């Protein structure tokens, strides 16, 4: 959806890219006091949303913590 700019659920092209900040809620909690930011891609028609962790360092943290 991030790359196609089209919703995979309803095929809408009204796909918004919401930058990560605390008010948009684009955060993934990875510990009691730690969170990584994630860009939110939202379909404005059906509400489907997906999150993208764009920062490689944050992905490395998630990999270390959760990838088994």
Among the listed residues 60, 38, 58, 59, the one whose alpha carbon sits nearest the alpha carbon of residue 50: 38
Task: Print the binding letters for residues 38-57 with Zn ion: x by CB under 5 A, - otherwise.
Answer: -----x-xx-x---------
Q: What is the DSSP string of 9-40?
A: TT--S-EEEEPP-TTTT-EEE-SSS-EEE-EE
User: Nearer to Zn ion by C-beta: 5 or 65?
Assistant: 5
- Binding flag, residue 5, Zn ion (CB under 5 A): no
- Binding flag, residue 16, Zn ion (CB under 5 A): no
Applying CB under 5 A, the residues found at the interface with Zn ion are: 7, 9-10, 12, 43, 45-46, 48
């Amino acid at each position: 959806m991030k790359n196609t700019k089209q919703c995979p659920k309803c095929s809408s092209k009204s796909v918004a890219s919401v930058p990560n900040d605390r008010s948009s809620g684009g955060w993934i909690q990875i510990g009691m006091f730690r969170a990584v930011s994630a860009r939110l891609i939202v379909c404005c028609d059906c509400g489907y949303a997906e999150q993208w962790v764009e920062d490689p360092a944050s992905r490395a943290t998630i990999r270390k913590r959760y990838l088994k």
